[in-house]
A and B are shown apart, each in its own frame.
Chain A
């Protein structure tokens, strides 16, 4: 059974940092592109960042460039999102998405940025 389990979300103040983790199992993690997608309250889905299977390529949405860093550990079958200089508008449920065809989705981790 495929599982993607996000963790690390919580309440932080503007300007602070947070690191999300995603533990994967049940599929070929080390061969798959991995992606972070978010959904802010009352808004639609937003593609955040992704990383190639070997970590050699990654892309970010414009508003998080320079603040967020995606990384992965294939030995641990884990994906990470290091978020710094957090803003109120980064408040969202963050989903970990696995597979080259976006087949697998986690249940999400809530990040709340508020003072």
Chain B
């Protein structure tokens, strides 16, 4: 089973910009991995922010965007707000099973 890697923790200032990345032990992450990004806050179920690399759901704030960057999937938050403090997980497809990354704890400080 592949291993998906994310930064364990990141800090961003209010109003600032931060990029979270998602790498694969099998090599370059491509659109064929259909990267997803999820946000989870304490005591809540996760919610899906991004699917298929760049696509947003109707509830995804405009300040979040997904992309492929340097061989990885990336989630960029532009104009961070206090409410964005949460854990973020990426999910990649491997021709059948999917694999989550270990998650990034994002602090807005």
Contact = CB atoms under 8 A, between A and B. Distances in A.
Interface of A: 35, 37, 44-47, 50, 59-62, 95, 101-103, 105-108
B51 A61 contact: no
B23 interface: no
Interface of B: 1, 36, 38, 40, 45-48, 51-52, 55, 57, 87, 89, 91, 96-103
Which of A62, A102, A107 has most chain B Cβ within 10 Å?
Answer: A102
B103 A44 contact: yes
B46 A95 contact: yes
A47 B103 contact: no
Most interface-central of A35, A45, A60, A105 (chain B CB within 10 A): A45
A101 B48 CA distance: 8
B60 to A, nearest CB: 11
Given A44-B87, A45-B38, A61-B1, A105 B100 contact: no
Nearest to A60: B97
Nearest to A102: B48
A37 B103 CA distance: 14
Contacts of A61: 1, 97, 99
A6 B36 CA distance: 23
Nearest to A50: B98
A59 B100 contact: no
A88 B56 CA distance: 37
Given A102-B36, A105-B46, A47 B98 contact: yes
